[in-house]
Amino acid sequence: MLLVVKIGGGAAVATANILDELTLSIKAEQRVVLLHGGSDLTNKLSQRLGYPVRMVTSPGGMTSRYTDSETLRIYAMATAGQINTELVALLQQRGVNALGLAGVCSSVESMPSAWQELTGGSYWRGASLLYVR
C-alpha cells in the first residue's frame, strides 16, 4: 500500500514531528509520497524580492493567493528550490533514502524510474513532492 501525506506550507507546521512519524512508517516498509506546500516561504521570498503578495477573495468568502507568472516563479523557488531539498536532507539525516521531485520536471521520459513506477508515468505540474521507497 502507498501512503500519501500532504503537509501544509504555513509557518506553524510541525515538520520535525511529521518527518519523525514518517520515518517510523518508512522503516516499517511503508511506501510513502510526501507532498508539501510552501505558502509561508513564498510570502517571505516575495517580500524580500519586493514583489507584493496579492490575495483574492471569492464571492463565497474563500481567500486564495493570486498567482501570476512572477509569483509562480517565486513559489517554485520556495518549494522546489528550498523546501523540497531541505525535506530530502532532513529525511536523509534520519536514515531515509528520499528522492525530491518537482512537477515541472521536463517530461515523463526524462523522469526517474521511481517516479514512473509510482505514478504509472503520469505527473503533476506545479507539485513538489518527495518519494520514499
Residue 120's domain comprises: 2-132
For the chain, what is the domain count? 1
Q: Tell me the per-residue pLDDT of 58-76, one tens digit each, with 9 for 90 and over.
A: 999 999 889 899 999 999 8
Beta-sheet strands, E only, within the chain: 2-7, 31-36, 55-57, 63-65, 98-102, 128-132
- CATH, residue 81: 3.40.1160.10
The more confident residue out of 101 and 32 is 32
Other CB atoms within a 10 A radius of the CB of residue 68 amount to: 10
Identify the weakest region by mean pLDDT among 30-34, 48-52, 92-96, 129-133. Answer: 129-133
* pLDDT, position 86: 93
On whether the pTM is more than 0.85, the answer is: no
The two beta strands, 2-7 and 98-102, are: unpaired
Cβ-contact 98, 88 below 8 angstroms: yes
Q: Tell me the per-residue pLDDT of 19-66, one tens digit each, with 9 for 90 and over.
A: 999 999 999 998 888 888 899 999 999 999 999 999 999 999 999 889
